[in-house]
Amino acid sequence: MASNGSSRQLSNVQIQDPSDEEDSEMEVTERMNIRTRNKFVRGKKLGEGTYAIVYLGHDTSTTPPTPVAIKKIKLAPTSEGLSMDAIREVKYLRELHHPNIISLLSIYAHNSNLSLVLEFLPGGDLELLMKDQSLTYSTADIKSWMGMAIRGLAWCHRHFVLHRDIKPNNLLLAADGVLKLGDFGLARSFADPMRVMTNKVITLWYRPPELLYGARFYSGAVDVWSLGTVFAELILRTPLLPGQSDLGQLSLIAKALGAPSERNWPGVSALPDWVPPTEGGPEQGMDFFVGMFASVGVEGAELVRGMLRLDPKKRVTAEEALRHKWFQVEPRATHPSRLPRKEGGEEKVGRDLGRGWEEDERVRGVGRRLDFGGAL
């Protein structure tokens, strides 16, 4: 923006002299910004990442004031502008509205800072919940969490959005027990079927085999796999496939679920990073799943299997998973308000919302960084 007469300078003039703020549309924006900013009162800092600081806040337009999380995006003057994470989060959360997706309540700009007002989700996340040994939960509870997660995911896919980072600590819990997909910093649209996308997404343990083999064209099936591994983890209460490297992850998959081959996955050997597996037998059938995931019954085991098919084309879609018969058989899913919960508290919110903004290369693919090598 020009140093003289830039919109910001104009708006400064307007702030100093509110008497003539009537005419300009631009000032309307600024006034809206001020109104929005005044509506949300920022409280204490909950957490901080490389790109964002998360504060506890309150929406003062309600009585009593509703708690919110305010994520203030830091802008370094020498940077590439707004980071891709922030851009994606804003881009998708502005358009997606669903009870099982974290809501972006408002956005306001002030002093070259962008603040996202997000709903406050003090219930922690599924990772924390599973780790808490003092806490027990039932199959009906798992059904409830899975149902909500699948609904949120199906909504994304119906709107051509891939989440690309489904894992237990991105499945957040509201005060009333409702589960919400969070962290859209890696999300992207898959409406153009012919565009290549990076395979460096999704935290390793939850990454599907097609991405490990370097697929650059993929679909909602990647998220379904991730959610399938979360499902298995909820049942087993330990990560299903805790690999240490890309190859290690592939070998874990082969040993646990079967070795990918042209027989069970036509076309797999043509993927860019294909290496013939040296371990594992044929793809596991129903017997294996029923044995391993006995606690959720035959139908439940069938859904786990459907979500964890090696060949992405054979995997159930989120939409199909939603209609799976497991959700119709007993036991019925627990009502969210009666789900076991852990007091995550404020600190947890800071961690949940701030985390994605740190460059945690250990657990996270390089997709967080700008990939200039080609289209993402």
Partner 1 sequence: MAANWWVSTQRKHWLFTKEKLADIRASLDAVDAKSVAQFPLPEKRLLNIYFNTQMIRLGKRMSIRQQALATAQIYLKRFYTKVPIRDTNPYLVLATCVYLACKIEECPQHIRVLAGEARTFWPEYITGEISKLAECEFHIISEMNSYLIVHHPYRTLQELTPMLGLTSDESSTAWCVINDSYLTDLPLLHAPHVIALTAIFLAVVLKPTQGQGLGASAAGTPPGQGGGQASANVAAATQALGSGVPGNGRINKLTEWYAESGVDIEALVDCTQEIISLYEVWDGFSEKACKEQLGRMIKQRGLC
* Rg of the chain (C-alpha set): 23
Taking the complex as a whole, how short is the minimal distance between the CB of residue 189 and partner 1, in angstroms? 4
Is 47 labeled as ligand-binding? Answer: yes
- Residue 29 sits in the site that holds partner 1 (CB under 8 A): yes
- Residue 34 sits in the site that holds partner 1 (CB under 8 A): no
Find the catalytic residue in 59, 85, 125, 165: 165
Using the rule CB under 8 A, give the single segment among 46-54, 76-84, 201-209, 232-240 that binds partner 1: 76-84
Is 53 labeled as ligand-binding? Answer: yes
* H runs (alpha helix) in the chain: 7-16, 25-39, 84-95, 126-131, 139-158, 209-212, 221-236, 246-257, 286-292, 297-307, 318-322, 345-355
- Residue 17 sits in the site that holds partner 1 (CB under 8 A): no
- Among 34, 41, 82, 256, the residue binding partner 1 under the rule CB under 8 A is 82
Q: Which is nearer to partner 1, 90 or 256 (CB)?
A: 90
Is 55 labeled as ligand-binding? Answer: no
Q: What is the largest CA-CA distance in the chain?
A: 77
Query: 110 Cβ partners below 8 Å, 6+ apart?
Result: 33, 37
Q: Which is nearer to partner 1, 197 or 234 (CB)?
A: 197
SS3 at position 41? strand
Is 71 labeled as ligand-binding? Answer: yes
Q: Which is nearer to partner 1, 95 or 176 (CB)?
A: 95
Please say if 165 is a catalytic residue: yes
- Among 127, 319, 359, 371, the residue binding partner 1 under the rule CB under 8 A is 371
Binding mask 146-165 for partner 1 (x = CB under 8 A): -------------xxx----
- Residue 330 sits in the site that holds partner 1 (CB under 8 A): no
The total number of residues written for the chain in this structure = 376
Q: What is the dihedral of CA 89, 93, 94, 98, to 10 degrees?
A: 180
Ranges within 89-118 binding partner 1 (CB under 8 A): 90-92, 94-96, 107, 109, 112, 114
How many helices and strands, by DSSP H and E, does the chain display?
Answer: 12, 9
Q: Is the peptide bond before 64 cis (omega within 30 degrees of 0)?
A: yes
Amino acid at 262: E
- What does the H/E/C string look like for 83-143? CHHHHHHHHHHHHCCCCCECCEEEEEEECCEEEEEEECCCCCEHHHHHHCCCCCCCHHHHH
Residue 97 CB neighbour total at 10 angstroms: 10
SS3 at position 172? strand
Binding mask 183-202 for partner 1 (x = CB under 8 A): -----xx-xx--x-x-----
Q: Which is nearer to partner 1, 100 or 169 (CB)?
A: 100
Q: Which is nearer to partner 1, 64 or 193 (CB)?
A: 193
Residues of the shown chain interacting with partner 1 in the complex, contacts defined by CB under 8 A = 1-8, 10, 23-26, 29, 32-33, 75, 77-82, 84, 87, 90-92, 94-96, 107, 109, 112, 114, 159-161, 188-189, 191-192, 195, 197, 370-372, 375-376
Active site (catalytic) residues: 165
Residue numbers belonging to the annotated binding site for ATP:
46-54, 71-72
